[in-house]
């Protein structure tokens, strides 16, 4: 009997290693079909799941309460599983080189708890070659087993979009790959249990690894182009959004807008591709240029804020700037690699200590990652400048009257509104006399 059959007959278990924005939804979805062990080193996070609390907001508390996933921080429980999915983050170091510590650590943990006949599938985003050249040797060393004989390895890059309630795990085509045809079929059948739209079988693990970094690099480059246009149009006195809206009336327009590009995928994955290319003697031109542009957008926005303060006759050092949002994207509590931090850092260079509001973000995460103490919106008063940095629903729904209550002055011309995500009605705000700028 195949491992797939043993899983659906509940004679074997599936494990998910890493219960974050990617791993936890996978574990919950698979638990509807098979027995699942959900493992994470973070005991606090595991306890939250056990208590029926979803800190990621990806599936919600009700689903966490109802799920049959066996959440644990005890790695020896992994010995009970035969199909392992590794979904740990792959961040970058300060010098923009790949930080493979999490995926290497997960490989070590799985390796020392690996049993004969198992399949290990990596979902973490890596550059081509990591799975076979780095992860498999760790699995073999820790387990004493031989890959291809005693256990099999596959790669299936995660494609979950945190905070997206439309494009979900089950309706995004899943790329699957393995180091032999037999295990590829097995891996495909297992994923087809939860992926309603089916899977795409890549010809090799390296192809699947490359597909992931390339799809995010492509998006990064397209946004970089729009960001470059935004910087040029700002000098020309042309509204970028109006240009893009006009352009998007053509059938083959791509629909990209300028913005801050952070998070654990688009703001990171291109560096994995660049790193491996440079190891092979090729210096990236387009991808690296796109990254430099996108990495500089926080500073560009901050400089725009400073200009607005000066034109409004504000004393820059004494200006009260309120930033709405610190997560890397809207309606998501994930603060990792948020480019809002770049706005904050640049403002501090001018002597401004901005007030930061984010009802979606975890206060402890904001404090730990950025040294930012989040403030409740109802406690904000006497602002000189309001910066809409993240398009959370809470901010989108604010009326002009509610925004006005946050300011300290009566003259609208001295009230500065900076709209990074272009979520406000420009005409209405400008007709009311406010000093308005958007990216």
DSSP 80: G
Compute the distance between CA of residue 329 and CA of residue 390 in angstroms, rounded to an integer. 6
Contact 299, 364 (CB under 8 A): no
**How many C-beta atoms lie closer than 10 Å to residue 35's C-beta?**
18
Helix (H, G, I), strand (E, B) or coil at 289: helix
Residues in Cβ contact with 184 at an 8 Å cutoff, skipping those fewer than 6 apart: 154, 176, 177, 178, 201
Q: What Å distances lie between residue 352 and 84, 301, 328, 371, CA to CA?
A: 48, 14, 22, 15
Reference 41, options 79, 71, 66, 64; nearest CA is 71
β-bridge mates for residue 81, sequence order: 13
Compute the distance between CA of residue 269 and CA of residue 230 in angstroms, rounded to an integer. 23
- Helix 101-111 and helix 136-143, axial crossing angle in degrees, nearest 10: 30
345: enclosing H helix or E strand: helix 340-349
Compute the distance between CA of residue 187 and CA of residue 42 in angstroms, rounded to an integer. 28
Token pair listed for 22: 């990617």
CA angle (320, 322, 328) in 5-degree steps:
145
Total residues found in the chain within this entry: 439
Please classify residue 408 by burial: count the beta carbons closer than 10 Å to its beta carbon, then call 0-12 exposed, 13-18 middle and 19+ buried.
Answer: exposed
Token pair listed for 225: 């182009």
Task: Look at strands 174-178 and 321-324 and give their pairing.
Answer: unpaired
Reference 81, options 8, 7, 149, 135; nearest CA is 7
Contact 416, 435 (CB under 8 A): yes
Compute the distance between CA of residue 132 and CA of residue 128 in angstroms, rounded to an integer. 9
**How many C-beta atoms lie closer than 10 Å to residue 251's C-beta?**
5
Which of 135, 265, 332, 385 is labelled catalytic? Answer: 265
Q: Is 408 a catalytic residue?
A: no
The residues that are catalytic are: 265
């Amino acid at each position: 009997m195949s491992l797939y059959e043993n899983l659906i007959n509940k004679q074997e278990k599936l494990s998910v290693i890493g219960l974050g924005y990617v791993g936890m939804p996978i574990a919950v979805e698979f638990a509807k079909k098979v027995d699942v062990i959900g493992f994470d080193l973070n005991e606090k996070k595991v306890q939250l799941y056990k208590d029926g609390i979803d800190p990621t907001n990806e599936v919600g508390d009700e689903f966490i309460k109802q799920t049959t996933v066996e959440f644990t921080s005890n790695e020896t429980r992994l010995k009970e599983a035969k199909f392992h999915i590794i979904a740990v983050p792959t961040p970058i170091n300060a010098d923009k080189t790949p930080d493979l510590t999490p995926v290497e650590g997960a490989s070590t943990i799985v390796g020392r708890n690996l049993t004969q006949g198992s399949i290990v599938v990596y979902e973490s985003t890596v550059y081509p070659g990591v799975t076979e050249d780095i992860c498999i040797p760790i699995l073999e060393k820790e387990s004493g087993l031989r890959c291809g004989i005693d256990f099999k390895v596959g790669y299936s890059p995660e494609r979950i979009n945190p905070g997206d309630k439309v494009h979900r795990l089950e309706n995004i085509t899943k790329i699957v790959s393995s180091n032999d045809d037999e295990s590829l079929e097995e891996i495909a059948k297992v994923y087809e249990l939860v992926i309603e739209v089916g899977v795409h079988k890549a010809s090799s693990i390296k192809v699947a690894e490359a597909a992931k970094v390339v799809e995010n690099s492509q998006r990064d480059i397209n946004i970089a182009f729009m960001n470059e246009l935004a910087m040029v149009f700002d000098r020309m006195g042309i509204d970028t959004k109006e240009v893009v809206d006009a352009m998007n009336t053509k059938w083959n327009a791509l629909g990209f807008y300028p913005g801050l590009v952070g998070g654990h995928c688009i703001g990171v994955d291109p560096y994995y591709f660049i790193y491996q290319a440079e190891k092979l003697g090729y210096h990236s031109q387009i991808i690296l240029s796109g990254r430099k542009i996108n990495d500089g957008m926080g500073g560009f926005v901050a400089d725009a804020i400073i200009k607005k303060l000066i034109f409004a006759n504000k004393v820059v050092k004494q200006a009260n700037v309120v930033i709405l949002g610190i997560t890397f994207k809207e309606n998501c509590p994930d603060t990792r690699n948020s480019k809002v931090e770049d706005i904050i850092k640049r403002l501090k260079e001018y002597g401004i200590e901005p007030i930061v509001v984010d009802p979606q973000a975890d206060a402890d995460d904001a404090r730990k990652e950025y040294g930012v103490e989040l403030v409740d919106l109802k406690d904000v008063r006497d602002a000189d400048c309001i910066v809409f940095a993240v398009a959370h629903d809470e901010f989108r729904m604010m009326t002009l009257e509610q925004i006005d209550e946050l300011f300290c002055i009566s003259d609208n011309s001295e009230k500065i509104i900076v709209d990074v995500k272009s979520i406000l009605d420009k005409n209405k705000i400008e007709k009311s006399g406010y000093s308005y700028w958007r990216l």
